[in-house]
Amino acid sequence: MSLILVVCTANVCRSPMAAGLLRQRLTVDRVNARHRVLSAGVWAADGEPASENAVATMAERGIDISDHRSHSLNTDDVAGADLILVMTREHARLVSHTWPQYAWRVHLLSEMAGKRRDVEDPYRGPIEEYRACANTMFRYIDSGLERILQLI
C-alpha cells in the first residue's frame, strides 16, 4: 500500500481539506484500497482540530474531516511517504532542506496539474476563502490524478 502525505503549515486548513478531497477522488476511481492519504504540518501543534470553516467547507462536499487532529511533520512521516504533496514553494523548500534524502518525493500540489503555483492559506478567513481554496485544490487533484498515481 502506498502512502501519500499532504503537507501545509499548521495542518488545520489546507492539508486536511486536500487529504479529504484526494481520498474522495481516489474512492471515485476505486483505487483508494491501494493508497493511504495522511496529512501533516511543518509548524503544526499536535492535536488541534481542523478549523471550523475547513470542516464546514468539506461537509458541503460530503467529506467529513471533523475528527481530524493536527500532526507535526516528522522524519517517520517523510521516510514512510511515497509522495509528499505540499501547498507552497516554501513548504517544498523546508521539507527538502530538512530531509534532503527524500527531496525527490516532494512536489507542489499544483505541479500535479502542470502548474507551479502556491495554494493560499485561508486560515481565519471567511468561508468563501475556504471554498475558493477547496475548489483550487480539487482542480489540481482532479486534473493531476494520473500524475499522482504515476509518482506513487
Which of 13, 14, 23, 77 is the catalytic position?
Answer: 14
Which of 8, 13, 25, 77 is the catalytic position?
Answer: 8
The residues near 27 (Cβ < 8 Å, ≥ 6 apart) are none
Indicate if 121 belongs to the active site: yes
The 10 Å Cβ neighbour count of residue 142 is 14
Helix 127-151 × helix 52-60 angle, to 10°: 70
Whole-angstrom distance, CA of residue 106 vs CA of residue 124 = 27
By residue count, the chain amounts to: 152
Are β-strands 35-41 and 106-108 bridged in parallel, bridged antiparallel, or unpaired? unpaired
Report CA 77 to chain centroid distance, whole Å: 13
Whole-angstrom distance, CA of residue 36 vs CA of residue 91 = 21
Which of 36, 82, 118, 121 is the catalytic position?
Answer: 121
Catalytic residues: 8, 14, 121
